[in-house]
């Protein structure tokens, strides 16, 4: 069996088209969703993520408030900015790009964000609501994984799902979402990590394997059964190559956590890296921003 490739770019484009139409409808009611992005310092990867987020907002008609601060910004000034954004009625979502430079207290900053504007879904209030199955902002990458699955017709109810990785931003929230008693849950979930004995013993019985370990070739062909669905969250920089657009510029060679070439011969569906989970993360951030604007305006259909 050769797998059908899950096209994350296409699913993200479909969702962005839906969101763009929704934003246009909201604008007729004089509601303009607004996202504030806070970037401290000059980290090149963070700068390019933030630029991508700002461009995506523009494409959808979401108001984007760009806050780029010097690396030596004090904790006090950063906290004052968060407080200002919490009160700003034009802002429905606040995103603080992580990691923050050394010397800044990340936990204190994230805790200061109004949970009603926490579109990253990292605030303990949103994490708690997610766990007990109340309406919450769902963290973007795991929510993007679930959208990829359901929009490709994968049945989650009763499925045996094995997640490799237990981080707070991917593995743990994903496991929580997948066991919820709702239409995007009802799966049976096993979460594996570096202390798991016999990882392959778990992955081999899975209907769906989700790899979020941050290590190339964590999942190989001998570790999965025929017909498995594989979602590869991993992004590993394994080298550099000249850019297609500008051969004088070097770009990273990216690889996931799954041995894609071999596993695709056994899987029924598989995500590539890049072009799988990656495009979904920003899309789900935009989704949460639009949700937040609707809640602030008292429009709550879900």
Residue 127 or 277 having the CB closest to ligand NAP: 277
| Of 91, 94, 84, 88, nearest in space to 39 by CA | 94
Selected binder of ligand NAP within 94, 189, 213, 285 (CB under 6 A): 213
Contact track, ligand NAP, 138-167, x by CB under 6 A = ---x----------------------xxxx
Cβ(101)–Cβ(41) under 8 Å?
yes
Which residue of 34, 139, 173, 234 would you call a contact of ligand NAP, by CB under 6 A? 234
215 sits near ligand NAP (criterion: CB under 6 A): yes
Answer yes or no whether residue 235 interacts with ligand NAP by CB under 6 A.
Answer: yes
Contact assessment for residue 210 and residue 258, using Cβ atoms and an 8 Å cutoff: no
Q: Which residues are marked as active site?
A: 53, 97, 120
Residue 129 as a binder of ligand NAP (CB under 6 A): the answer is no
CA distances from 290 to 57, 158, 196, 206, 243 (A): 11, 31, 39, 35, 34
Contact 151, 14 (CB under 8 A): yes
Structure tokens that stand for 165 in this block: 């990785």
Name, in order, each residue with C-beta under 8 angstroms of 142's C-beta and a sequence gap of 6 or more.
169, 170, 173, 174, 177
Site string for ligand NAP, 171-200 (x = CB under 6 A): x--------------------xxxxx--x-
> Phi/psi at 192 (nearest 5 deg)?
-110, 160
CA triplet 170, 82, 139: central angle to 5 degrees?
A: 15
Q: Is 233 among the residues that bind ligand NAP (CB under 6 A)?
A: yes
CB of 216 to ligand NAP, least distance (A): 9
Task: Name the minimum Å distance from CB 248 to ligand NAP.
Answer: 27
Query: Nearer Cβ to ligand NAP, position 179 or 235?
Result: 235
Q: 49 vs 91, which CB is nearer to ligand NAP?
A: 49
38 - beta bridge partners? 67, 96
Peptide bond into 229 cis (omega under 30): no
Are 296 and 92 within 8 A, CB to CB? yes
Q: Which is nearer to ligand NAP, 81 or 169 (CB)?
A: 169
At its nearest, how many Å lie between ligand NAP and the CB of residue 179?
18
Nearer to ligand NAP, 166 or 294 (CB): 166
Tell me which of 36, 110, 162, 212 binds ligand NAP, using CB under 6 A.
212
- Give residues in contact with ligand NAP (CB under 6 A): 141, 164-167, 169-171, 192-196, 199, 212-215, 218, 233-236, 277-278, 281
């Amino acid at each position: 069996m050769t797998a059908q490739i899950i096209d994350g770019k296409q699913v993200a484009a479909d969702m962005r088209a839906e969101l763009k139409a929704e934003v246009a409808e909201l604008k007729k009611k004089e509601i303009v969703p607004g996202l504030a992005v806070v970037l401290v310092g000059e980290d090149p990867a963070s700068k390019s993520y933030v630029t991508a987020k700002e461009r995506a907002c523009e494409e959808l008609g979401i108001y984007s408030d760009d806050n780029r601060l010097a690396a030596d910004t004090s904790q006090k000034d950063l906290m004052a900015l968060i407080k200002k954004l919490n009160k700003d009625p034009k802002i429905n979502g606040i995103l603080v790009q992580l990691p923050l430079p050394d010397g800044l207290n990340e936990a204190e900053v994230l805790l200061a964000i109004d949970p009603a504007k926490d579109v990253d879904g990292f605030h303990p209030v949103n994490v708690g609501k997610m766990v007990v199955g109340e309406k919450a902002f769902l963290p973007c990458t795991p929510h993007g994984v679930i959208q990829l699955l359901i929009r490709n017709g994968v049945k989650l109810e009763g499925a045996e799902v094995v997640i490799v990785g237990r981080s707070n931003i991917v593995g743990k929230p994903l496991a929580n979402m997948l066991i919820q008693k709702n239409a995007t849950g009802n799966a049976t979930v096993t979460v594996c990590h570096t202390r798991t004995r016999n990882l392959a013993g778990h992955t081999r019985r899975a209907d769906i394997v989700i790899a979020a370990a941050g290590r190339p070739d964590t999942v190989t062909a001998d570790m999965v059964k025929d017909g498995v669905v594989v979602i590869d969250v991993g992004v590993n920089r394994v080298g550099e190559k000249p850019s297609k657009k500008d051969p004088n510029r070097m770009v990273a060679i990216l690889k996931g956590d799954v041995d894609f070439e071999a596993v695709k011969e056994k899987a029924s569906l598989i995500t590539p890296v890049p072009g799988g989970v990656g495009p979904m993360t920003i899309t789900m951030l935009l989704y949460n921003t639009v949700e937040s604007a609707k809640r602030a305006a008292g429009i709550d259909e879900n």
